[in-house]
Amino acid sequence: MNKKSAGFRILAYTFLSLFAMMNIVPLFWMVVNSFKNEQEYAADPFSFPEALHFSNYAEAWKVANMNVYFLNSLFVTFASLIVTVFFGALASYFLSRFQFKLRGITYGVFLLGMLVPIHATLIPIFLIMQKLHLLDTHLSLILPYTAFHLSLTIIILEGFMRGFPKDLEESGVMDGAGIFRIFWSIILPITRPAMATVVILNFIYNWNEYLFALVLISSSALKTLPLGLANFVGIETASLTLQMAALTMALIPIIIFYLLLQKQLVTGMTAGAVKG
């Protein structure tokens, strides 16, 4: 390597390191301080804690109802995800493996959903849920979470199923299997890689959602994690370290999830953005 490229390297690494620090420092600062008590934090917000106080965690877990929020988020996230992926896969199967008159239009309608901004539907959805007496239930979240992620789910799954060879179903037909049997035991199993992407994407979007939860859920016992956290921090303004403990508890699982499934998340979320 010549001199010029050594200079380039130093510049590049300096810049990249600064960028990485910008991304890590706020998170790291929060995690470190979550182990301090108030006095220790007030004395020096940049030191390492003298001892690891887990008392903030115990208190935050209790005061902030973290267990309730975690369970609610898990339930809503997985219920929406299962409904979305199952109905999405079923629709994709018919859209990709069958010829029928309205196929093009139906697919086009689903494609349109990638452009629909959530806020333009927020007030009507609130009023629909009110009419159906579903306000302040988990179902009121599961329905919009499903509706708004069917488009991306179908685009990804349809594209994948389309690639299978034409005569794939023939063996099934020979065996006398019906249309739904073929879907369940031939098509679904080989769609697994695309299903994984779709499941991960649905999971992260549902897990992080805030606006619908804010509008549709009011009782504390039904709040999802983002809504509960936002509320807790709004109320518990006195103790910053307590807030930090609560946030860290919510942050750690998502960071682990990200590090484990980084590849799928990165390609999936990028596709989600580019197609939208």
Partner 1 sequence: MQTLRGTKLAIFIGLFPALLIYLGIAIVPIGMSLYYSVMDWNGIGSMKFIGLDNFVKILGDDTFWLSVQNNVIIMVTGLIGQIPLGLLLALLLNRGLKGSGFFRTVGFMPVVISSVMVSLIWGMVYNTEYGMLNNLLGLIGLDGWKQNWLGDVRWSMLSISIAYIWQNCGLYMVIFLAALQNIPDEVNEAAELDGATGLKRTFRITIPMIRSTLLVGVVYSISNSFRVFDLIQILTGGGPAHQTEVMTIHMYNSAFMNMRYGYGSAVSILILLFSLVVISVVNRLGRDKDA
Whether 258 and 265 have beta carbons less than 8 Å apart is answered as: yes
Q: Which of residues 90-119 bind partner 1 (CB under 8 A)?
A: 90-91, 93-95, 97-100, 106, 109-110, 112-113, 116-119
Contact range with partner 1 by CB under 8 A, out of 50-58, 62-70, 88-96, 190-198? 88-96
Q: Which of residues 245-264 bind partner 1 (CB under 8 A)?
A: 247, 250-251, 254-255, 257-259, 262
Q: Which of 79, 134, 147, 188 binds partner 1 (CB under 8 A)?
A: 147
CA distance 243 to 232: 8
Whether 198 and 92 have beta carbons less than 8 Å apart is answered as: no
Kindly write down the DSSP assignment for every residue of 23-86, as one continuous string: HHHHHHHHHHHTTS-HHHHHH-TTSPPSS---HHHHHHHHHTTHHHHHHHHHHHHHHHHHHHHH
First to last CA, the chain: 42
* Distances from the Cα of 80 to the Cα of 73, 75, 103, 138, 144, angstroms: 11, 8, 25, 10, 9
- Decide: is 265 part of the binding site for partner 1 (CB under 8 A): yes
CA distance 50 to 1: 47
- Decide: is 85 part of the binding site for partner 1 (CB under 8 A): no
- Decide: is 82 part of the binding site for partner 1 (CB under 8 A): no
- Decide: is 3 part of the binding site for partner 1 (CB under 8 A): no
CA distance 31 to 56: 12
- Which of 57, 148 has the CB closer to partner 1? 148
- Decide: is 120 part of the binding site for partner 1 (CB under 8 A): yes
Contact range with partner 1 by CB under 8 A, out of 53-61, 63-71, 189-197, 223-231? 223-231
- Decide: is 150 part of the binding site for partner 1 (CB under 8 A): yes
User: How many other C-beta atoms lie within 10 A of the C-beta of residue 94?
Assistant: 15
Q: How many residues bind partner 1 (CB under 8 A)?
A: 95
Q: Which of 60, 76, 152, 154 binds partner 1 (CB under 8 A)?
A: 154
Minimum gap (Å) between residue 130 Cβ and partner 1: 8
CA distance 217 to 198: 26
- Which of 99, 219 has the CB closer to partner 1? 99
- Which of 21, 71 has the CB closer to partner 1? 21
* Distances from the Cα of 122 to the Cα of 20, 140, 142, 222, angstroms: 36, 12, 14, 19
Minimum gap (Å) between residue 198 Cβ and partner 1: 13
Q: Which of 64, 81, 195, 229 binds partner 1 (CB under 8 A)?
A: 229
- Decide: is 54 part of the binding site for partner 1 (CB under 8 A): no
- Fill in the per-residue mask, 168 to 207: x = in contact with partner 1 (CB under 8 A), - = not in contact: -x---x----xxx--x--------------------x--x
For the four alpha carbons of 207, 210, 211 and 212, in that order, the dihedral sign comes to: positive
